[in-house]
Amino acid sequence: MSATDLENAVDGGGADRTGGERVGRRALLGGLAGTAAAAVVLRPGLAIGDDQEDPRPLGTVPRAGAGGTVREVTLYAVAGPGNRLAYGTTPENASIPGPTIEAIEGDEIRVTLVNTTSLTVSLHAHGVDVPAADDGTPANGSVVAAGARHTYVWRTHAPTKRADGTWEPGSAGYWHYHDHAVGTAHGTDGITRGLYGALVVRRPGDPLPEKQFVTVFNELTINNSAVPDSINYSANLGQRVEWIMITHGVASFHTFHTHAHRWADNRTGLLSGDDDRTSVIDNRTTGPGESFGFQIIAGEHVGPGTWMYHCHVQFHSDGGMIGIFTVNNADGTPPPGHTEHMANHREMAAMMMSAGGHAAHGGSEPAKAQVAGSPTISQSDVPGGGDEDAHAGHEGHGG
Amino acid sequence: MEDTAVPPVRTDRFARRALLAGIVGTAAAAVAVPKVTAAAQDVSVKKGQAAVGGRTLDVTIYAVALPDGNFAYGYTPETASIPGPTLEMVEGDTLRLRVINQTGRVMSAHPHGVDYDIQSDGSLQTNTAIPAGEERTYIWRSHEGGMGADGVYTPGSAGYWHYHDHALNGSAHGTEGIRRGLYGALIVRRAGDPLPDVQNIVVINDANINNKVAPNTPTFTARQGQRVEWVVIAHGNSFHTFSLKGHRWANNRTGLISGPDDGAQIVDTRTVGPADSFGFQVIAGERVGPGRFEYHTHVALFWDRGVYGWFDVLESPAPVVTVTGIADGETYGDSLTKTVSWTVTGGAATGASSATLDGQPLENGAALRLWTLPLGQHELVVVGKGTGGDTTTTVRFTTKTSFADLQALVTSLPMSETTRAGLLDRVTRAAGKATSGSESGAISLLEQFISRVENQVRSNAEVRSVLLRDAQALIAELGALDAAEGGR
C-alpha cells in the first residue's frame, strides 16, 4: 500500500463524519508546533464483524470488524526547523504526534520506516507482538541509519485460552510508538523532539468513534506545544469522541483532567453494564511511556461549552499544559459564549507566559523547540482529529 | 481536626441519612442539614444502604479566609474547615450548591465527576467564578448508568469525587485556593451502595494532609468492626502513594469486590496525583484487631516530613445478650405458651441479632406454644451482633407433659365439645387413679383416652398427634413407675 493509497484510505475511512473540517487550514498557519491530532492512517472496517458473531447487543454504533488483515504502512521520519523531528505518511505531512496507526486484533502491521533525516532513528512499538529484530533499539540493531529504511513487523492477537487453562490477554489497547535511537539508546532526544504517535489496537466489536483526539503530555508540553499555541479540539454535541492520551518525558508525571467528561478506568473507557465496578474517573495519573484511551459522547449530560482539559499538576497547568475542548451545538455552531471564553483563555494563556510559563520551570528543550516550530511538521487537519487551535478556532465556527 | 472522640455507633443509618438528606459531615468537617426540596425517598432500599436518588438538594456553603492565612469552605462561616464539608449525592440527585464568597477575593467551586453545564464550571475562563463579596449557585447533577440507543453503556455518576477552587486570586486553575485549603470531598453513591459508620477524608495536598503536618494531622477513630469509609484526594504538584496499615481494599469504584470471581486487584497502597481521588470502605480492625494504624504517603520524602496520621481502632466490648421468657436449665409443661424475646446491649452492639430454636430460625418476641415442640430437650441460640465480634448465648430447656398439661391442652385445643367432655373425663379420672397410686388404673383410662382421640379427633392432625403423644408419654411414665415399684 503506497502513501497515496493510505491517503485515499483515510478519505474513505469516514473517521470524521462531520465533514467540512478537513481543509488543511493549519498548513497556512506558520510557527505552530504540535497538531490537534494526527492522521488516521488505518481505519479498519466499519462493518460489524463479518466472520464472527458477537453476542453483545450492538445498537447503532459502528463497530470494529474482524481482524486478520495484513496492513502495510509507510512512515517517513522527517527533520524540520527548530530542531524538531516528526513522523508522517509522506515527508510533507509529518506531524507531532505522528499518524495514528490502527489495527484490529489478529492484524499484522508492517511499517516501513523511511529515514529522511541525517540521524539514526527507529520505531519502537508498545503493546503489540514484536520480534527482537523489530524492537527498534540500538541494542538489537533494529534502528534505521540516515537515508535507509526498515520494515518493522508488528503482530497482534485475540485473547486466547492457553493449554494450562489460563488466558493470554489480547493485544487490544490504546498503545503508542516512538523513536528509540535518537540522542540516547532510549530515544530520549527523538521523543523530546517529536518522534511519537498513537497506536490503537481494537477488539472486534469495539465501538468506533466519530472523532479522535491524540494528546501527548511530553514533559511540560502537549504535543510539543504550549499556550498560547494550545492544542484545542472540537466536536459537535453528541458525537462519539475517542481521546488517546500518551505521556512522554524525562522526569515528569502528570494528571490528565477533562472538564465535564469522564470515563471508566479500563481498556476502553467504557463500562460493560450496571455490575461493572470499574472506577469512573475524570482525572488520571500518568507517567512516561504510559498510554490510555477512552470514548466519550461530546457534551453528554452537560451540553455544549468551551471546556478546558489540562494537566492537573498545578504548576504544569499554570505553566501552560492546558487546552480547550469545544463542544459545539449539535448543528456545529459554536456554543454560547464561545468567543468570549476563548478570548479569556488566550488572555490567561498570555498571562501565564508572561509569568514565565515553562521557562519558569527550567526552559526545557521542548519549550525551546516549540517556539521555532516548523510549518512543514505542523501540518494537519486530519480526519478524525481535532481540528482547531487557539488561532483557528473562531474561524472554524465563525459562521 | 483532631478527633479523639469515639464516633457513635450508627444503628439506623438509613433513617439518619434520610434526615440529613444525604449530606454528612466528616471527622474534619461540619455537619449541617440542608433543605430537601424533593419528594420523599423510595423506602424499598435496605437499612444501611444508599437510598434511591432523584432529589434536589439545596446546600449553602460559605468560603471564608481563616486567621492562619488559609481559606476554607463551611456550612457556616464559623464551621468552615479544611477539607470543606463532604457533599453527598445519590445517582439521580441534583445538588444546588450556593456558594457565598466571604474571602474578600475572587474564588469558585469546581466539581469533579458530576454533570454541570458551562455555567457551573467554576472557572475564570467561562466567567463562572465568584467575585469577592458575591455568591453564586452552582448546579451539579448526577445520573444513573444505562445502555444507550447506540448499544454502548453510559456509566453512572457514582464515584468518590471532589470539589475545589478554580479561581482564587485570579489563578486560572485555582492553584492558590487549593494550596490554601479550598477543597472538599464529593461522594456520589449508587442506590444500594453500603453506607459507612465512620467517614475519614484524607487530602494529600503536596507536603501535608488536610493542610496539616504530623503531629497535627487528623487522628481518626473507629470501633473495631465498624464500617469505615476513606476518601483520598490528592492536590498540588506532587505524586503520592496513599497507604493504610492493617487494612486493604479493592482497586475499583467502591473498594469492595462482588465475589470470589471479581478480578479487581486488592491493594493497601495506591498512587495518586494531583486531583486524583478514590475511596473505599473497610471494616475497622477486621482480622487484625484493635490498635493504632498509620495512614500515610508511602513516598518517603514526604512521609518523613509529616505526611502521615493515625487511625485508632478501639477495642470493642462484646455485646450482652439477655434472653427473657425461657430460662436456661428450666423444665416447662408443654401446655404453656412462652413469649421468647431477647435484647442485645453494650457499646459495641450493632443492634442486629439472630436466633435459632433447635436449628430453626426464631423471631424475637415470638409466642412459643410449647406443645408444638417435641417433648424433651431444646436449645435456643441467640447471636447478638457486635462491631468487634458477636456474642452467642445458648439457653437449654426441657418440655414435658403431665396430667395437668394434658388437661389444659384438652381444654384449650380445638375439638368438638362432646369430644372434649369425654377426653376431659378420662384424663381427669386417670389423674385421680395415678394420685391414689393405681398406675394400672390410670393407664387403662389413658388407653381409653387414646382410643377416643383416635376415633373422634380426626379433623385436626396436629391436635390429634399431640394428644396421642402426651397420653403415650404419660403411659410410659406410669409403666416405668409401676415396674419400678414391682407392680401392684
B121, A305: Cβ pair inside 8 Å? Answer: yes
A322, B254: Cβ pair inside 8 Å? Answer: no
Q: How many CB atoms lie within 10 A of CB B378?
A: 18
A59, B258: Cβ pair inside 8 Å? Answer: no
| CATH label of the domain that carries residue A110 | 2.60.40.420
Residue B189 has pLDDT above 70, yes or no: yes
**Confidence (pLDDT) at B209:** 98
What's the first-to-final CA gap in chain B, in angstroms?
87
A259, B121: Cβ pair inside 8 Å? Answer: yes
Q: In chain A, how many domains are there?
A: 1
Residues of A in contact with B159 (CB under 8 A): 262, 279-281
Angle between helices B461-484 and B403-412 (to 10 degrees): 160
Q: Are B396 and B329 a contacting pair, CB within 8 Å? A: yes
A351 CB-contact burial (10 Å; exposed 0-12 / middle 13-18 / buried 19+): middle
Same fold, B205-316 and B403-484: no
Low-confidence ranges of chain A (pLDDT < 70): 1-58, 356-399
Q: Cβ of A55 under 8 Å from any chain B Cβ?
A: no
Q: Cβ of A54 under 8 Å from any chain B Cβ?
A: no
Query: How many angstroms separate the Cα of B262 from the Cα of each of A265, B61, B188, B251?
Result: 16, 40, 22, 11
Q: Are A149 and A113 a contacting pair, CB within 8 Å? A: yes
* HSE (side-chain half, CA atoms, 13 Å) at B9: 22
A355 CB-contact burial (10 Å; exposed 0-12 / middle 13-18 / buried 19+): exposed
Residues of B in contact with A318 (CB under 8 A): 171-173, 175
Angle between helices B461-484 and B439-456 (to 10 degrees): 170
Strands A108-115 and A70-80: parallel
Planar angle of CA B131, B134, B140, nearest 5 degrees: 90
Which amino acid is present at B39? A
Backbone angles phi, psi at A142, to 5 degrees: -95, 45
Nearest to A348 among B125, B151, B251 (CB): B125
- Number of Cβ pairs closer than 8 Å across A and B? 169
B150, A336: Cβ pair inside 8 Å? Answer: no
What is residue B363's three-state secondary structure? coil
**Confidence (pLDDT) at A158:** 97
State chain A's maximal CA–CA distance in angstroms.
62
The C-alpha atoms of residue B339 and residue B358 are separated, in whole angstroms, by 16
Residues in chain B: 488
B125, A308: Cβ pair inside 8 Å? Answer: yes
CA closest to A59 among chain B residues? B151
Residues of A in contact with B175 (CB under 8 A): 314-315, 317-318
Q: Give DSSP secondary structure letters for A145-203.
A: -TT-EEEEEEE----EE-TTSPEEP-S-EEEEEE-SSSSSTT-HHHHHHT-EEEEEEEP
The C-alpha atoms of residue B331 and residue A214 are separated, in whole angstroms, by 81
B153, A270: Cβ pair inside 8 Å? Answer: yes
Residues of A in contact with B153 (CB under 8 A): 270-273, 276
Q: Which of A99, A100, A97 is nearest to A34 (CA)?
A: A97
Q: Are B74 and B62 a contacting pair, CB within 8 Å? A: yes
**Confidence (pLDDT) at A351:** 82
Mean pLDDT across B311-318: 89
Angle between helices B439-456 and B417-435 (to 10 degrees): 170
Which amino acid is present at B313? V
Q: What torsion do the CA atoms of A295, A300, A306, A311 make, to the nearest 10 degrees?
A: -40
User: Which residues are paired to A326 by β-bridges?
Assistant: A234, A306
**Confidence (pLDDT) at B22:** 35
* HSE (side-chain half, CA atoms, 13 Å) at B174: 30
**For the domain bounded by B320-400, which CATH number is listed?**
2.60.40.10
What's the mean pLDDT when you consider all of chain B?
89
CA closest to A264 among chain B residues? B155
Which amino acid is present at A219? E
The C-alpha atoms of residue B203 and residue B222 are separated, in whole angstroms, by 19
**Confidence (pLDDT) at B346:** 74
Q: Are A71 and A13 a contacting pair, CB within 8 Å? A: no
Residues of B in contact with A393 (CB under 8 A): none
CA closest to A285 among chain B residues? B273
**Confidence (pLDDT) at B318:** 80
Q: How many CB atoms lie within 10 A of CB B480?
A: 11
Lookup: cell for B447: 388407653
**Confidence (pLDDT) at A243:** 98
**Confidence (pLDDT) at B16:** 31
Residue B164 has pLDDT above 70, yes or no: yes
**For the domain bounded by B205-316, which CATH number is listed?**
2.60.40.420
Residues of A in contact with B161 (CB under 8 A): 282
The C-alpha atoms of residue B143 and residue B168 are separated, in whole angstroms, by 30
User: Which listed CATH number (1.20.58, 1.10.3470, 2.60.120, 1.10.260) goes with B403-484?
Assistant: 1.20.58
Q: Are A349 and A393 a contacting pair, CB within 8 Å? A: no
A59, B237: Cβ pair inside 8 Å? Answer: no
B251 CB-contact burial (10 Å; exposed 0-12 / middle 13-18 / buried 19+): middle
CATH architecture label of B1-195:
Sandwich (2.60)
Q: How do residues B70-100 score in pLDDT, each as one tens digit?
A: 999 999 999 999 999 999 999 999 999 999 9
Q: Are B203 and B210 a contacting pair, CB within 8 Å? A: yes
Tell me the residue range of the domain where A74 lies.
3-397
A253, B273: Cβ pair inside 8 Å? Answer: yes
Planar angle of CA B386, B391, B397, nearest 5 degrees: 145
The C-alpha atoms of residue B156 and residue B14 are separated, in whole angstroms, by 22
**Confidence (pLDDT) at B103:** 98
Q: ipTM score here?
A: 0.75
B275, A312: Cβ pair inside 8 Å? Answer: yes
Residue of higher predicted confidence among B260 and B318: B260
Q: Are A271 and A278 a contacting pair, CB within 8 Å? A: yes
Residue B356 has pLDDT above 60, yes or no: yes
**Confidence (pLDDT) at B40:** 35
Element spanning B175, H or E: helix B175-179
Residue B32 pLDDT grade (very low, low, confident, very high; cuts 50, 70, 90): very low
Give domain limits for chain B. Answer: 1-195, 205-316, 320-400, 403-484
Alpha-carbon distance B381 to nearest alpha carbon in chain A (angstroms): 37
Nearest to B152 among A207, A254, A276 (CB): A207
Which amino acid is present at A391? H
**Confidence (pLDDT) at B139:** 98
Q: Give DSSP secondary structure letters for A195-248.
A: -EEEEEEEPTTPBPPSEEEEEEEETTEETTB-TTS-EEEEEETT-EEEEEEEEE
